[in-house]
Chains A and B, each alone.
Chain A
Amino acid sequence: MEIKDIIDTNIMGVNLEGKTKSDAIDVMADILLKAGYITDTESYKKDIYHRETLGKTGIGNYIAIPHGLSKGVVKNGIAIGKFKNEIPWESIDGKGVRIVCLFAVQDADNAGNDHLRMLATIAGKLGDDDVVKDLLDAQTVKDLRNAFLNH
């Protein structure tokens, strides 16, 4: 399995609208629901908000990575959304967020290590300033996808 097998433009969006963190998570969870990654939005969001209580998911440079293990997830993936406006978010550099990478991770024994390893690889790429720059410059979902594939 490679990164391109798990990076899915069906769960990406640009020019998304939202004023608050709650708006952003709602919009992104809806994208995951429509694409068949999650079946139970409420229980999924509950698990995401639980992780939010444990520490900041704003990793600086306008990027947030809300995530959590959830039984509401049927397929592992990362929804990536670029929002029109900066959204207030608890972050390590005190800035808001433009790019939300919402991780959907199955809470199951057979969650599939291959998938999780790919998610870990994608997370690692968010630690690369070149990837972050491309994400912030992205105009289309294809640009978002390429940010991960080109570095």
Chain B
Amino acid sequence: MKIVGVAACTAGIAHTYIAKEKLVKAAEKRGHQIHIETQGTIGTEDALTDEEIKAADCAILAIDIKISGTERFKDIKTIQVPTEVVIKSPNKLIEKAEEIVAKN
């Protein structure tokens, strides 16, 4: 499936990028396409396009703070968790995303 998402942590220095790496590794391992945007101290990087969001089966928001642009995900299935959950159990989270998407 196609997954989009955003990672953002409190300080925007470290957890954001670790969470992104964990999500990408876990999703690709299970054969999914994934694109994660980061919102950190250096600003927004790897920004998602509207087309990508439209084509996605679900969105994963790994966030500890309010992020900009949550309204972009209003029309797709969205899972929101703290970065800690992603860093601790990335595989479980991807499995959960698969279940949610399969449910329709």
Contact = CB atoms under 8 A, between A and B. Distances in A.
Contact of A126 (B18, B64, B88): B18
Interface string A100-131: 00010100000001001101110111111100
A113 to B, nearest CB: 5
Contacts, number: 75
B13 A69 contact: yes
Interface residues of A, number: 28
B11 interface: yes
B88 A51 contact: no
Contacts of A77: none
Given A113-B42, A128-B25, A55 B84 contact: yes
B21 A119 contact: no
A120 B88 CA distance: 19
A18 to B, nearest CB: 21
A40 B18 CA distance: 28
B78 interface: no
B22 A127 contact: yes
Interface string B1-34: 0000000001101111111111001000000000
Contact of B17 (A54, A55, A120): A120
B11 to A, nearest CB: 6
Given A124-B20, A127-B20, A65 B42 contact: no
A35 interface: no
A101 to B, nearest CB: 8
B87 interface: yes
Interface string A38-54: 00000000000001001
B41 interface: yes
17 contacts: A51-B11, A54-B10, A55-B84, A59-B15, A68-B13, A92-B84, A105-B13, A116-B13, A116-B41, A120-B17, A120-B40, A120-B42, A123-B15, A123-B17, A124-B18, A127-B25, A127-B87
